[in-house]
C-alpha cells in the first residue's frame, strides 16, 4: 500500500462506537430527560446493563479509559453504594418494564472488586431488572488482580464471559506502557475461569504501541492463540495525550508510524485468520461457531460503546461515573468525577451530566455508519425501506463519494454502497463522510489506521 494512500485516508476520525459521537453530547440533556425516556420503555423491551468501575491499582500509560489509580480499597467501597442506589432509581423509573439480557462490568479494573462486593452487585442487578433466561454476565479482567477467592466469587456471581487485557507480552513494550504482565499470569486466569465454568474468553491485543514491530506483534499473537480464546480483539493504540495526560509518559519517538501500524495490524490479522478465526469488522476475530461470528454472517452484528457485539437490546442502561446509556430517544452520560457522581446520586438518585436527543437524520446516519462499520456495505433497498425519501441526501452522498474515489476504496452500483477490500482498513474514514457533526465542536480523534 502506498504512503500516499495512507496519508490520504488515515486522518484522525472517530471510532464510531456511537453516532452522534460523545464529543457532541451537551448539557441540555439532564436527569429529567432521562427519567422521561425511561418512563416510556415498553414492557417487553430488552435491557443491557453496563456498570463502570473507574478504579485501577496501577495506571497503564496507554489507557484511554475514565479511571484513576487507587492504593487502597476505601474509595471503591465508598463508590459502590452509589451504583446500587442508581440501579434502584432506574428500576423505579422503569417500574417493572423491560428485562435484562446482559450485565457488563468495565473499567478501570472491575476485577479489583472484593468477592463479596462483586456477588452483591450481580445479585442486586438480577433482583431489580428481571433477567432473561439467556442473561449474560461479562467482566473485564486485569490478571494482576486475580486471587483464588476472586475466581470463586466470579463463579458464584454467575460470570459467563470474560475479557482479558493482553496488550503485548514483550517485556520492553510492557515497560514502555507501564503494564507488566506475564504470559503465565494471563494463561492462569484463562484456565482458572474456564475451570469454573466460564463459557467464553476474549483476549485484547494492541498494535501501534511503543517499540512494537511486526515480529513482536506476531509473537504476542502466537502466545494469545496458544490460550485458545473464543474471541480475540486487535485494537490499534489510540495516542491522545491531549485528552489522557498520562499518555505523555509514553515516548512518542518510539511509536510506530502509520505505515508500520498498518503492517502490524495486517500481519496480526493474517496470523489470527490462519489459526481458523473469522474476521469480524475492523478489529475482532471469533471462532466460527461463536455468537459474534454467527451474527456477523447473518448481517446482525451490532456496534456500541463496548465495540462489536451481538447485544441488540434497544435500551443500554449505563451505571456509574462517566457511564453512557442509550435509549431509542438518545444518549445520556453520567458525570465523570467519582466524587461528583456520589454527591449527585445521594442528592438526586441520577447523575446525568450531558447527552443528546436523536433527530430523524441522526437515526438515518447512525444506521448507515453502523452498517458500514459492521458489514462494510449498505443495502440500498433496505436503506430506502427503512427511511424512505429521507434517505435521498445520503444516497446522493454515496454516489458523490464513489464518483470522487480515485483510489478504489468504495463501490456504488445503485443496489449497494460498499467498502472494497483495499478500503477496509480505512472504513472509519469512509464512515466519516456521512457524519454531519464531524468538524464541529472541540472533539479530537485518533488516527484511522
Mean pLDDT value across residues 12-20: 92
Higher pLDDT, 74 or 448: 74
Domain 360-432 is in which class?
A: mainly alpha
Classify residue 100 as left (phi > 0), alpha (psi -120 to 50) or beta: beta
Burial 169-198 (b: 16+ CB within 10 A, else e): bbeebbebbebebeeeebbebbebbeeeeb
Contact 235, 208 (CB under 8 A): no
> Which one-letter DSSP state was computed for residue 12?
B
Indicate if the pLDDT at residue 218 is higher than 80. Answer: yes
Q: What is the pLDDT of residue 167?
A: 94
Nearest alpha carbon to residue 83 among 35, 32, 117, 133: 117
Nearest alpha carbon to residue 285 among 306, 298, 270: 270
CATH superfamily of the domain spanning 16-357: tm_1862 like domain (3.80.30.20)
**Cβ-Cβ contacts under 8 Å for 278 (sequence gap 6 or more):** 285, 286, 287, 288, 290, 293, 296, 297
Contact 304, 323 (CB under 8 A): no
Domain boundaries, the chain: 16-357, 360-432
Indicate if the pLDDT at residue 444 is higher than 60. Answer: no
Q: 311-342 pLDDT, tens per residue?
A: 999 999 999 999 999 999 999 999 999 999 99
Q: Give the global pTM.
A: 0.93
**Residue bearing cell 471503591:** 76
Q: 90-132 pLDDT, tens per residue?
A: 999 999 999 999 999 999 999 999 999 999 999 999 999 999 9
Amino acid at each position: 500500500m502506498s504512503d500516499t494512500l495512507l496519508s490520504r485516508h488515515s486522518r484522525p476520525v472517530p471510532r464510531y462506537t456511537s453516532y452522534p459521537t460523545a464529543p457532541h453530547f451537551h448539557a441540555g440533556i439532564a436527569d429529567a430527560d432521562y427519567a422521561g425516556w425511561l418512563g416510556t420503555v415498553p414492557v417487553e423491551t430488552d435491557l443491557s446493563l453496563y456498570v463502570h468501575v473507574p478504579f485501577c491499582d496501577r495506571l497503564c500509560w496507554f489507557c484511554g479509559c475514565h479511571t484513576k489509580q487507587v492504593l487502597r480499597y476505601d474509595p471503591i467501597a465508598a463508590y459502590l453504594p452509589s451504583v446500587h442506589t442508581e440501579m434502584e432509581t432506574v428500576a423505579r423509573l422503569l417500574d417493572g418494564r423491560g428485562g435484562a439480557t446482559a450485565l457488563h462490568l468495565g473499567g478501570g479494573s472491575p476485577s479489583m472488586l472484593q468477592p463479596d462486593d462483586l456477588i452483591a452487585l450481580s445479585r442486586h442487578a438480577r433482583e431489580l431488572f428481571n433477567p432473561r433466561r439467556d442473561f449474560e454476565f461479562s467482566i473485564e479482567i486485569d490478571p494482576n488482580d486475580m486471587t483464588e477467592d476472586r475466581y470463586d466469587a466470579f463463579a458464584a456471581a454467575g460470570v459467563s464471559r470474560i475479557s482479558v487485557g493482553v496488550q503485548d507480552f514483550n517485556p520492553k513494550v510492557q515497560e514502555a506502557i507501564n503494564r507488566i504482565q506475564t504470559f503465565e499470569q494471563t494463561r492462569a486466569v484463562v484456565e482458572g475461569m474456564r475451570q469454573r465454568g466460564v463459557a467464553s474468553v476474549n483476549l485484547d491485543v494492541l498494535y501501534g504501541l511503543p517499540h512494537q514491530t511486526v515480529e513482536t506483534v506476531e509473537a504476542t499473537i502466537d502466545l494469545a492463540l496458544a490460550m485458545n480464546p473464543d474471541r480475540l480483539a486487535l485494537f490499534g493504540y489510540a495516542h491522545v495525550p491531549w485528552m489522557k495526560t498520562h499518555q505523555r509518559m509514553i515516548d512518542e519517538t518510539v511509536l510506530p508510524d502509520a505505515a508500520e501500524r498498518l503492517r502490524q495490524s495486517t500481519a496480526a490479522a493474517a496470523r489470527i485468520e490462519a489459526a481458523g478465526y473469522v474476521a469480524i469488522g475492523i478489529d475482532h476475530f471469533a471462532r466460527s461457531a461463536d455468537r459474534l461470528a454467527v451474527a456477523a454472517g447473518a448481517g446482525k452484528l451490532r456496534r456500541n460503546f463496548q465495540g462489536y457485539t451481538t447485544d441488540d437490546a434497544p435500551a443500554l442502561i449505563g451505571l456509574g461515573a462517566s457511564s453512557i446509556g442509550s435509549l431509542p430517544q438518545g444518549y445520556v452520560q453520567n458525570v465523570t468525577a467519582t466524587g461528583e457522581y456520589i454527591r449527585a446520586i445521594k442528592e438526586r438518585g441520577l447523575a446525568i451530566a450531558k447527552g443528546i436527543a436523536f433527530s430523524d437524520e441522526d437515526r438515518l446516519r447512525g444506521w448507515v455508519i453502523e452498517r458500514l462499520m459492521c458489514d462494510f456495505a449498505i443495502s440500498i433497498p433496505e436503506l430506502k425501506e427503512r427511511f424512505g425519501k429521507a434517505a435521498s441526501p445520503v444516497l446522493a452522498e454515496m454516489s458523490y463519494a464513489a464518483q470522487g474515489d480515485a483510489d478504489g476504496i468504495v463501490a456504488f452500483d445503485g443496489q449497494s454502497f460498499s467498502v472494497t477490500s483495499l478500503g477496509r482498513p480505512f472504513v472509519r474514514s469512509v464512515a466519516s463522510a456521512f457524519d454531519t457533526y464531524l468538524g464541529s465542536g472541540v472533539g479530537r480523534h485518533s488516527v484511522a489506521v
